[in-house]
Amino acid sequence: SGQQVVEQQAGQVWFPDSAFKTAQALNDFNHEGLPLIIFANWRGFAGGLRDMFGEVLKYGAYIVDALRTFKQPVFVYVPYEGELRGGAWVVIDPTINPRMMEMYAAEVTKGGVLEPEGIVDIKFRTPDILKAMERNENFAALSPEEQSAKRKELLPAYKRVAVQFAAMHDTPKVMLEKKTITDIVPWATSRQFFAQRLRRRLAEEAVRQRVAEICPGASTEMADQAVADLETSI
């Protein structure tokens, strides 16, 4: 007799089955010639032993392959209070297909390959925190035992400050400054923005396709110049 098995899966995480379904959906969209908007709110891929045995990395690579060959405009949007982390950022980064992909973020989002706690564990470890204490605190008047107790007391507070400082680098403004996103799009006006942006991108691709039909040997630069000339004349 059959037996039902219920498996709990965390939210905002790609597992082998969900990563495979994502790649399938991307290929279907591409086959149908449809543009794509991805509302990105993932913290990464599941990294358990069972997930590795289930080939989660292979299915993540399928997502990259699907986006690399996508022939319609792709918008990646990190929604309000959403976050994009780890391998999830890697597999939908616009550099995979810079001609078709653009990434945007709402005004209140978080983004980065590592979370603030992970950055602190790598970049600002306990010895570095203790050095910061030495610069900021007056330990000279304390005995060695009191110094040790004081450092132990202050360590959690210093680590919280370090994590908060690292979190300040996960904001949309920093992402825009580092050119990892195209622009900041407020959540309240995102529908209008993407509707207009999509119409423009579809029109641009139609012009490029027309240039390719008229001049089969035309280069990509020539098609881009035709789009630029058309925009100037309007």
pLDDT in tens, 54-102: 788 899 999 999 999 999 999 999 999 999 988 899 999 999 999 999 9
> Which strands make up the sheet holding 36-39, listed edge to edge?
36-39, 74-78, 101-105, 183-184
pLDDT of res. 1: 59
Encoding tokens for residue 136?
């900021």
More confident residue, 2 or 118: 118
More confident residue, 11 or 102: 102
| Mean of per-residue pLDDT scores for the chain | 88
pTM comes to 0.82
Average pLDDT over residues 107-118: 89
The answer to whether the beta carbons of residues 103 and 182 sit under 8 Å apart is yes
The Cα–Cα gap between 172 and 61 comes to: 26
pLDDT of res. 87: 87
The answer to whether the beta carbons of residues 196 and 188 sit under 8 Å apart is no
State percent of the chain over pLDDT 70: 96
- Max intra-chain CA distance, the chain: 85
Encoding tokens for residue 168?
């300040």
The answer to whether the beta carbons of residues 57 and 85 sit under 8 Å apart is no
Render pLDDT for 164-209 as a digit per residue (tens, 0 to 9): 998 888 899 999 999 999 999 999 999 999 999 999 999 888 888 8
Encoding tokens for residue 204?
């641009």
- Strand pairing class (83-85; 44-45): unpaired
